[in-house]
Amino acid sequence: MSSANDRSDSTEIAERITRTISEGSTATLVTLIRAESNVGAKLFVEEGLEVFGSLGSQELNEAVAGRVRSFLESRADMLVVDLREFAPELGDIAGTQLLFERIQREPRLVICGAGHVGAALANLATLLGYQSTVIDDRQEFVERERFPDPRIELVSAADWAEAVRRSVSDGRGVSVVVVTRGHSEDEVCLKAVMKTGADYVGLIGSKRRTRIVLDRLRETGINPEMLERVHAPIGLDIGAVTPEEVALAIMAEIVAVRRGGNGRSLSVKRQRR
């Protein structure tokens, strides 16, 4: 039977999970999944390493809280850890296991431009678990008939900059892809994105076209260091031709940035003898 303290801890942790997601911050939920006692006990560790709940002892709480930073740096969403791997000083803990879970909003993708590539991106991103928002100033391009999946948010933009700022918000957990139809729209969108702190910003186009856009933004006073963060030309080099292939190249780069990947092939080609 659970105690009043257990129920109180569970309620507080649930409330803090809700608040973490609504605020767009990141936290870690640690659950004791294998042990001699207290299986199911939970510890909630906020971004600043403030701890709520308990796994059964102060020593264990402190050891686990110390492991949270490396878990977050790994960029994994979930990880099962054997306690003796990082806290052997706690004694006879063979077989004790903990589940680390990253608590944050679902990743979001804001797509500026609802052309063929933008549409392919929205569909692929949704399949990958991203919340997708598509923005365009042409109403006929953001009709629901073109995007039948109701999970894709559609924004008809009378004002590109305002629509971008509102959709990206504080930028936490947000990737932004600029795939509009022209230089002027690209510049307006990128200028708006530069003020949001988005996790990823990419601009489609040739090296010449993207250089022109970035040079113009430098001339308007945008911090050059901020412009260096823009992935331009966008995407990984996979030889993409079709809109769907281009979308795949773009999403591959976004995932690589989010997960800390390098984009290289995992296979090792054997040298011919």
Domain containing 152 — which CATH number? 3.40.50.720
Answer for the pair 163, 217: CB distance below 8 angstroms, yes or no. no
Residues 211 and 193 in one domain: yes
User: Is the pLDDT reported for residue 128 higher than 70?
Assistant: yes
What integer pLDDT is reported at residue 49 of this predicted model?
Answer: 80
Phi/psi at 111 (5° precision): -110, 115
Overall domain count for the chain = 2
Q: Could you please report the per-residue DSSP string of 152-175?
A: SEEEE-SSHHHHHHHHHTT-TTEE
What integer pLDDT is reported at residue 269 of this predicted model?
Answer: 59
What integer pLDDT is reported at residue 268 of this predicted model?
Answer: 65
Question: Each residue of 186-225: pLDDT tens digit?
Answer: 999 999 999 888 999 999 999 999 999 999 999 999 989 9
Residues 76 and 208 in one domain: no
Residues 59 and 167 in one domain: no
Mean pLDDT of the chain: 90
Residues 117 and 97 in one domain: no
Residues 113 and 83 in one domain: no
